[in-house]
Amino acid sequence: MQVSGRVLVCDSIDQAGIDSMKRAGLVVDYRPDIKANELVAAAKDYDVLVVRSRTKVTKEVIDSSNAKIIARVGVGLDNVDVKAAEARKIRVINAPEAASVAVAELTIGLMISLARSIPRADSESKKGNWIKKELMGTQLSGKYLGIVGVGNIGRHIGRLAKALHMNLIGYDPFPINKEFISETGMIVTDLNTLVESADFITCHVPSTPETKHMFNADRFAKMKPSAYIINTSRGEVIDENSLYEALKAGKIAGAALDVFEVEPPTNKHLVGLSNVICTPHIGAQTKEAQELASTVIAEKIIQILRGVI
């Protein structure tokens, strides 16, 4: 069944979803560089607004629009004023599971990079420096991985880490999937016990008032001096100034960050530390994850406009 409607795609998304929407009969305008003021002026002409993370769907955009659907090709809805959309009875949709594999694989990559100083080994080797003696690493096998937020991504990482013979500790204020616990042998505990016991801590929580700065000076003080922290969730989860102090003082061994309190990061002293590895929010940046997110969103839009869901 064909559907009618106009879709404005405001950020660059994989072509697969655009093609499916067009095949279903939708008119799709692709404007991945649209500016904030242009969006406010254009929004009234569309039934659907599609964004990734660049475009902010503010109250001003929402109030000037005639949209029935706001679609985020990704997980977090931090860039959409969901309350303003709900007040106008606009459906807000996302693709929560599309990036799980990509983020989990990046997290494992960052953990191994921290344990073996791969970025430093690479850059020094390229400069002609043979620093083998300085690069005594640590093995993952037998170590305790603390997973904070045991949702889609946290569970996927848990399974990959088990294959590396790591032991799992998990904290989540909501019940954790029982099959996952029995499959992996995860020890479920409170946050402070996890922080005190883990050799590696990885964060996979949403950005909420409760998770803002959940890793602060107190928590870093509880970590083992040999422990590492990885954040591929949201920048606000870590208090970057406290992280910097903890790393400088040797209270923890290192950190890997894919997300920052401000992006791109302005906290140059933190980013510049030799025991910090940074990536520019590339968790979901794989061909497969982007294609899946784009097609999942396109399918949801088509089904909503058909009145199926």
Q: Which residues bind ligand NAD (CB under 6 A)?
A: 75-76, 96, 99-100, 103, 148-154, 171-174, 204-208, 210-211, 232-234, 258-259, 281, 283-284
Least distance (Å) from ligand NAD to the CB of residue 7? 23
60 among known catalytic residues: no
Closer Cβ to ligand NAD, 64 or 285, answer by number: 285
Closer Cβ to ligand NAD, 82 or 121, answer by number: 82
Question: How many helices (DSSP H) and strands (DSSP E) are in the chain?
Answer: 13, 12
Question: CB burial class (10 A; 0-12, 13-18, 19+) of residue 141?
Answer: exposed
Closer Cβ to ligand NAD, 8 or 150, answer by number: 150
**How far apart, in whole angstroms, are the C-alpha atoms of residue 192 and residue 17?**
43
Taking CB atoms, the residue at the shortest distance from ligand NAD is 151
Question: CB burial class (10 A; 0-12, 13-18, 19+) of residue 262?
Answer: exposed
Closer Cβ to ligand NAD, 258 or 261, answer by number: 258
Angle among Cα 300, 304, 305 to the nearest 5 degrees reads 120
**How far apart, in whole angstroms, are the C-alpha atoms of residue 274 and residue 62?**
44
Q: Which two tokens stand for residue 64?
A: 């000037």
**How far apart, in whole angstroms, are the C-alpha atoms of residue 37 and residue 60?**
10
β-bridge mates for residue 49, sequence order: 8, 70
Phi-psi category of 98—alpha, beta or left, where left has phi over 0 and alpha has psi -120 to 50? Answer: alpha
263 among known catalytic residues: yes
240 among known catalytic residues: no
From the candidates 234, 236, 240, 261, which is the catalytic residue?
Answer: 234
Least distance (Å) from ligand NAD to the CB of residue 9? 19
Which DSSP symbol is given to 126? H
Please, what is the end-to-end C-alpha distance for the chain in angstroms?
15
Least distance (Å) from ligand NAD to the CB of residue 149? 3
From the candidates 38, 86, 183, 263, which is the catalytic residue?
Answer: 263
Closer Cβ to ligand NAD, 8 or 148, answer by number: 148
Least distance (Å) from ligand NAD to the CB of residue 264? 14
Closer Cβ to ligand NAD, 128 or 173, answer by number: 173
Least distance (Å) from ligand NAD to the CB of residue 241? 21
What is the arrangement of strands in the sheet containing 200-203, beginning at the earlier edge strand? 187-188, 167-171, 144-148, 200-203, 228-231, 254-257, 276-278
Least distance (Å) from ligand NAD to the CB of residue 106? 7
- Tokens 């990046």 belong to 106
* Catalytically annotated residues: 234, 263, 281
